[in-house]
Structure formats: C-alpha cells, structure tokens
C-alpha cells in the first residue's frame, strides 16, 4: 500500500511537469472590485453575478473597461465569447497598456480578435510594444481550431521580466523571450489591463476592404472568469505588491512543459498565417529577437510568396507600391 501511495504521488508530480502549469485554477475577480468602465455608457453591462460582462458595439459607440490597478508582471485572463454572424471590421481587444501615462514611450501587450465576413473565421492577432517602439510592429496572426462564437474560450497573457506568453485554452500560441538585443523594446513599465470592442473598419478585415455593417448590429462580446493575478503597483510609491502565490505562479507558467511545447508547435504549423519575423517586404533582415525556423519560413512562403518571399508588391499599372500596414496575411489543434 505504501509503495502504491508513493507511485501515485510520483505520477501526480510527473503529470504536472508534463502538462505544465494550468491557467484554469487562477483566482477569479469581480468586476466591481477590480475594474472601471472606460467608455460606452449602457453598452457595457455587468451581470447579476458581478463576474460576467457584456460589451456591445452599435451605431452609437463601442464599449470597454480597464483595471483599477497598474501591474508590473502577472497572469491576466478572460473567458470570451465573440460576436457571431457577419462581423467584418469589428475588433475585440484584450490587452495591457500604459499609453495614458507614457504617451510617447508606452508599452503594450495585445490580444486582438479580428472579425470577418459571413462564412469566414475570426482571427487573432498578438503584438507587443516596448518604450514606444510602435514603428517596429511585432505582430503575429492566426486562425483558431474552434469557432470562438459558439462558446467561451480562455485567453491569457503571461508577463514576467523575461517572458511574454500568449495562451488560448491553456495552449501557448506564442512565446516572446526577452533578449539583450531587444533593448527597451520589451515591455517593462507598469500597465493596466483593458478590454474593448470597437469599429476597426479601416484595417481589421482584409486591410479595410470590408468594414462594419451596422445592419448586423448590435455586436456583443461576452466575458467571464476575469483574472488579474500579479503584482499591483502603487501609482505614487511605484512599488509592486504581488498577490498571494503570484510570484510562484508566474515562474511556473513561464516554464512551458514538453507537452505544451508540442501543442504550440502544432498550433503554429497549422494555424499561424502571419509573423513579422518572416515578412521580408517589411523587414529585409529579421529583427534580432526572432528565432527563424526554416520549416515555418517555408510554409509561410508557400502560403504568401509576396509577403514572406520578399517579392515586391506592385500597383496594377506595374509600379512598385510601398505601404506599411498593421494587418497582413490570412489561412485544428
């Protein structure tokens, strides 16, 4: 019996190592104690449970909210159900920023959900800025292996002093490791967490080809299981105070397990449609933090030889066209 008990304990520990840190058990916070409405009047609605929120975009306005506290590192998460049907031009954003405090040298960590025309999938775009480095976009764009309008799915950001990891349903989809070559371009100043829905007609769907059609409004994003698990910063003293267990959870979450790394590889192989690291029209030489994977580069070149093969874009009259766009490219775990 003792031998069996020891074996079960060992298997439990081994299973945790193989599967990695799970984000499902993070402490959930109520809206009233942790967030403030940013804009949108009645287009933001908090359910009676105090932990679920509805954000609406209509002809009048979008809507959004922001965390009451600033954070320097942490785990930030929400389960989100996106608007269904025709959603071209609609943007739902779950992101961290300090742009209201540092107008010219702000930091940002973005999850952006980009709507689409009927019959086409929502896409997710991730991006980071550090110290106002908006001239160097670090976007990646992917499809999902499920329909994000049918049910709630968990989207999470891990931010530490050395890592940024984006997760979908506990699957890491992108990892950014801080390198010396990035300098100040790695987000390093305290940030608030924002969640918004807004009209991105000028760029969100096929570079602005399809805009929001308010005939299909209202567009409603539903959120629950809101998590702010990190190190809040006093705005006056500028000293971070971490939640109970947050330090340990941050360290555990940034260690991607072998099975999680396999899942991340599968996701990127099947679903990633754009990465700045391979965009040869935009960056003739990959930015220094990029880890270029030959198989990944080849797959993207086949998918879009103009963007990823360095072939110059041309106008219909044959002249070269040079245009920097925030959105590039299009494509189950």
Q: Which pair of structure tokens corresponds to residue 182?
A: 């990035």
In percent, the amount of the chain with pLDDT more than 90 equals 77
| Residue 108 bears catalytic tag | yes
Catalytic residue among 33, 59, 112, 150: 112
| pTM confidence score | 0.88
DSSP letter at 66 equals E
Structure tokens at 169: 């349903």
SS3 80: strand
Q: Which tokens hold the place of 291?
A: 């880890």
Q: From the candidates 33, 108, 140, 175, give the one annotated as an active-site residue.
A: 108
Instruction: Say if residues 294 and 272 touch (Cβ distance below 8 Å).
Output: no
C-alpha span between 27 and 38 (Å, rounded): 23
pLDDT at residue 155 greater than cutoff 60:
yes
pLDDT in tens, 217-242: 999 999 999 999 999 998 777 789 99
Q: What is the pLDDT of residues 177-201, one digit of tens each?
A: 999 988 889 999 999 999 999 999 9
Residue in 153, 150, 82 with CA at minimum distance from that of residue 116: 82
The pLDDT tens digits of the residues spanning 245-257 come to 999 999 999 999 9
Question: Is the dihedral angle over the CA atoms 308, 311, 315, 321 positive or is it negative?
Answer: positive
Residue of 229, 252, 254, 253 whose CA lies nearest to 241: 229
DSSP three-state, residue 81:
strand
């Amino acid at each position: 019996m003792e031998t069996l008990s020891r074996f079960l304990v060992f298997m439990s520990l081994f299973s945790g190592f193989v599967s990695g840190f799970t984000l499902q058990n993070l402490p959930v916070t109520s809206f009233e104690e942790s967030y403030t409405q940013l804009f949108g009047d009645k287009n933001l609605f908090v359910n009676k449970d105090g932990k679920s929120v509805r954000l609406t975009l209509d002809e009048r306005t979008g809507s959004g909210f922001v965390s009451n506290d600033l954070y320097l590192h942490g785990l930030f998460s929400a389960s989100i159900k996106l608007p269904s049907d025709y959603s071209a031009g609609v943007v739902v954003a779950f992101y961290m920023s300090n742009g209201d405090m540092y107008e010219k040298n702000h930091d940002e960590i973005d999850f952006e959900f980009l709507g689409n025309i009927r019959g086409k999938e929502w896409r997710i775009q991730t991006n980071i800025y550090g110290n106002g480095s908006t001239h160097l976009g670090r976007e990646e764009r992917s499809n999902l292996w499920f329909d994000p309008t049918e049910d709630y799915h968990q989207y999470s950001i891990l931010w530490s002093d050395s890592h940024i990891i984006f997760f979908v349903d506990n699957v890491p989809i992108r990892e950014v490791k801080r390198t010396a070559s990035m300098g100040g371009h790695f987000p390093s100043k305290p940030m608030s967490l924002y969640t918004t829905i807004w009209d991105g007609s000028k760029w969100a769907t096929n570079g602005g080809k399809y805009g929001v059609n308010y005939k299909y409004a209202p567009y409603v994003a539903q959120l629950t299981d809101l998590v702010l698990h990190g190190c809040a910063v006093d705005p006056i003293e500028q000293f971070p105070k971490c939640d109970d267990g947050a330090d340990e959870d941050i360290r555990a979450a940034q260690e991607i397990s072998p099975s999680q790394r396999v899942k991340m590889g599968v996701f990127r192989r099947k679903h990633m449609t754009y990465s700045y690291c391979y965009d040869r029209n935009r960056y003739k030489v990959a930015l220094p933090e990029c880890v270029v994977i030959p198989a990944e580069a080849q797959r993207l070149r086949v998918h879009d030889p103009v963007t990823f093969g360095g072939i110059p874009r041309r106008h219909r009259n044959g002249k070269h066209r040079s245009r920097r766009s925030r959105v590039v490219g299009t494509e189950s775990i």
